[in-house]
Amino acid sequence: VGPENASQPESVRLFVAVHVPPDELERIERETEHLRSSLGGARWMQRSNQHVTLKFLGRSPVDRVSAIQEVVEIVARSHEPGECRLTQLGAFPTTRRARVLWVGLDDPMSLLPALAGDLDRALEPLGFPAEARPFHPHLTLARFKVPERVEEHLVALTEPGRSFAVTGIDLMRSHLHPRGARYESLRRFPLGRGDLTGRVD
């Protein structure tokens, strides 16, 4: 973990996320191709930047990163892998005045809210305030500087999504640039592996 910039050399911007397999991201891109011309004000996320955020930490001192990693590892180990599927399109805060266009997830075991809730609680003692808003698992596709009416455009995706395994969570760093952020996985933590009291590896 290196310095972010000269004015704030000792902090990094962090979040914890789940990644979606590239073929599913390609499918969503194909299925939303027509929206790129109809939604003129949208800034589309590159596929390499797409993810499902579980917990946003924001700025953190670099010397906190190893303590954060320990907490994320414990949470990851305490949940077994699960299956999710990308489903319908939606928008925040509303489809009439959208700022964020996203694709939602079907998560039959409620793994994502369970992970998000545990991360929220476990990271609070390290100084990261618990999330006040309800958790809505989503993968951001595009953002709007000026809120845009998108409701007429959000027809159902036609191809059925493939269910995919969620086997790990990533501690992510965001690098802010004038032309958009770039996200980097600092470390992936596998889910499960059972026994939390006796590490064998």
Contact residues toward ligand 2AM (CB under 6 A) are 15, 53, 56, 100, 140, 174
Measured from the CB atom, is 53 or 88 closer to ligand 2AM? 53
Q: Which residues contact 159 (CB under 8 A, 6 or more apart)?
A: 27, 31
CB of 36 to ligand 2AM, least distance (A): 18
What does the alpha-carbon distance between residue 94 and residue 88 come to, in Å, rounded to a whole number? 14
Measured from the CB atom, is 180 or 194 closer to ligand 2AM? 180
Measured from the CB atom, is 15 or 44 closer to ligand 2AM? 15
Measured from the CB atom, is 11 or 53 closer to ligand 2AM? 53
Written as one string, the DSSP assignment of 158-172 is SSPPPPEEE-EEEEE
Pick left, alpha or beta for residue 192 (phi over 0 → left; psi -120 to 50 → alpha; otherwise beta).
left
CB of 181 to ligand 2AM, least distance (A): 6
* DSSP 3-state of 21: coil
What does the alpha-carbon distance between residue 116 and residue 82 come to, in Å, rounded to a whole number? 14
CB of 119 to ligand 2AM, least distance (A): 12
Measured from the CB atom, is 54 or 191 closer to ligand 2AM? 54
CB of 198 to ligand 2AM, least distance (A): 34
Measured from the CB atom, is 14 or 191 closer to ligand 2AM? 14
8 Å CB contact between 14 and 60: yes
CB of 133 to ligand 2AM, least distance (A): 8
CB of 170 to ligand 2AM, least distance (A): 11
- 100, two tokens: 């964020």
Cα-Cα-Cα-Cα torsion 90, 93, 94, 97, nearest 10 degrees, comes to -120
What does the alpha-carbon distance between residue 3 and residue 56 come to, in Å, rounded to a whole number? 20
